[in-house]
Structure 1
Amino acid sequence: MPASQALLETIRSKLFSAVIGDVLDSRGYHHQFLPPEIRPLTPEMVVVGRAMTVLEADCTGDRMGHSGEAAAFGLMFKALDELQADEVYLATGGSPDYAFWGEMMSTRARVLGAAGAVLNGPHRDTAGVLEQGLPVFSVGAFAQDQRMRGRVIDYRCPIEFPNRTRVEPGDIVVGDRDGVVIIPSAVEAEIVELALAKVAGEQDVQRMLEEGVSTQEVFRRTGIM
């Protein structure tokens, strides 16, 4: 298994968003969670993969441009078709007035082996999206179409969320029922190693608490709580 794929599998099987966020905080990365409104469609959904960043923008009118029908969605089809295995379609930039994602997009992403989609906007076709089995995180369900209202204007570019979280293409995206956190690719190995150690330490903390040790004493001994 390639090293990058093995790292993603370690995260999937052994880590979770909260412990990763704690470690990122400890290393000075204080703005790594996406806005808390971004939630999984079902509580058990987990997404782990590399960011394929997508930038949306609002527009007005059904402008097909010179390229025909596809221009109504900007670069969305091109971005979707270029998704690679283990990548997460990660979109921000538009308003919440239209859906960023739907059933057909889930189908294409699943066929390409993508890890999922994370959207700072709504999704639609909820039943169909769930049927595809691809992890999708969004701000909620809203059926209004993107056409005439928004389009993809760039992808595989740095993007920034309203809460100051910046994501570079290839950063690791980890999402579960507690939120979506971004691991910068430049420090991914260090962060995963520290998170694994923290998980082991938290198991010791759990044991001490069950034995009746006070929280003050537990924190004095371990620095974990």
Structure 2
Amino acid sequence: MGNIGMRIYTKFERPEQEIMESFKGIPTSVIADNMNRMYCMNSKIKPINHVPLIGSAFTIKTRPGDNLLVHKAIDLAKEGDILLVDAQGDLTNAIIGELMVLWAKKKGLGGFIIDGAIRDSDSIAKINFPVYAAGISPNGPYKDGPGEINVPVVCGGLVVRPGDIIVGDQDGVVVIQPQDAPVLLTQAKNKLAQEQQTMKDIENLNWDRDWVDSELVKKNVTIY
């Protein structure tokens, strides 16, 4: 079992790059609609800049306010990995700042999602590298541990496992289990095509609204 609470797992199965790339350009809202609206991180996880995110989860569980294991994760992660940090939502101390973001970008990683705070937010907002976080604090982190790498974590109210597919945009973040990805991709593409058709219908004043009254009838609505 090793030293529980101070463990690093270096091996896990990443999804195929092709299936992850296939979700590019599909809004998180469309993906989420095809997951019964159950697999989005909650709204406290917000984008710090306007850079979309997609990749494989590389998870870190850390003591609130401490980033020792996050530094190690940056060194271990592979190109395109999303560093997803469970800092228990604590906003007292920032987990990452500008220097760590620049280093992760230089290494070709895929982005950060921090269920905790960041700092240097103004600078990070200008870096072409996706960063999502629960908040901002100028307080720097400690570097004492404990923490674990590549274990199941909770981020934005969702359980995330190493190798899960992570998609993020300005609406937020959705988490996809790799085994669900092929069917979900087809459903999401179909949903996106339907929405594009609806936009054309709106433009032509031809949006079918009969469903509204049908639903109200089912609810036994009273209209005076």
Structure 1 and Structure 2 fold alike (TM over 0.5): yes
Q: Gaps spanning 5+ residues in structure 1: where?
A: 60-71, 221-225
Query: Which position in structure 1 is the counterpart of 2:150?
Result: 156
Query: Which position in structure 2 is the counterpart of 1:33?
Result: 40
Q: CA separation in 2, counterparts of 1:53 and 1:36?
A: 20
Query: Which position in structure 2 is the counterpart of 1:214?
Result: 208
Q: CA separation in 2, counterparts of 1:214 and 1:171?
A: 37
Q: CA separation in 2, counterparts of 1:183 and 1:132?
A: 26
Kindly indicate which of the two structures has a greater share of residues assigned to strand: 2
Map 1:126-165 to 2 at 5 A.
126-147=121-142, 151=145, 153-161=147-155, 163=157, 165=158
Q: CA deviation at 1:115?
A: 1.0
Q: CA separation in 1, counterparts of 2:146 and 2:101?
A: 17
Are 2:10 and 1:4 aligned? Answer: no
Q: Percent sequence identity over matched residues?
A: 25
SS of corresponding position for 2:60: strand
Query: Which position in structure 2 is the counterpart of 1:56?
Result: 62
Q: CA deviation at 1:189?
A: 1.6
Map 1:46-85 to 2 at 5 A.
46-58=52-64, 73-85=67-79
Q: Does the Cα contact within 8 Å between 1:209 and 1:218 map onto a contact in 2? A: no
Query: Which position in structure 1 is the counterpart of 2:10?
Result: none
- AA aligned opposite 2:32: G
Structural RMSD (CA)? 2.5
Query: Which position in structure 1 is the counterpart of 2:219?
Result: none
Q: 1:116 aligns with which of 111, 120, 129?
A: 111
Aligned length: 198
Kindly indicate which of the two structures has a greater share of residues assigned to helix: 1
TM-score (ref. length: structure 2) = 0.79
TM-score (ref. length: structure 1) = 0.78
Q: Gaps spanning 5+ residues in structure 2: where?
A: 1-14, 215-224
Moved more, 105-114 or 123-132: 123-132
Q: Does the Cα contact within 8 Å between 2:62 and 2:69 map onto a contact in 1? A: no
Q: CA separation in 1, counterparts of 2:38 and 2:96?
A: 25
Q: CA deviation at 1:127?
A: 3.7
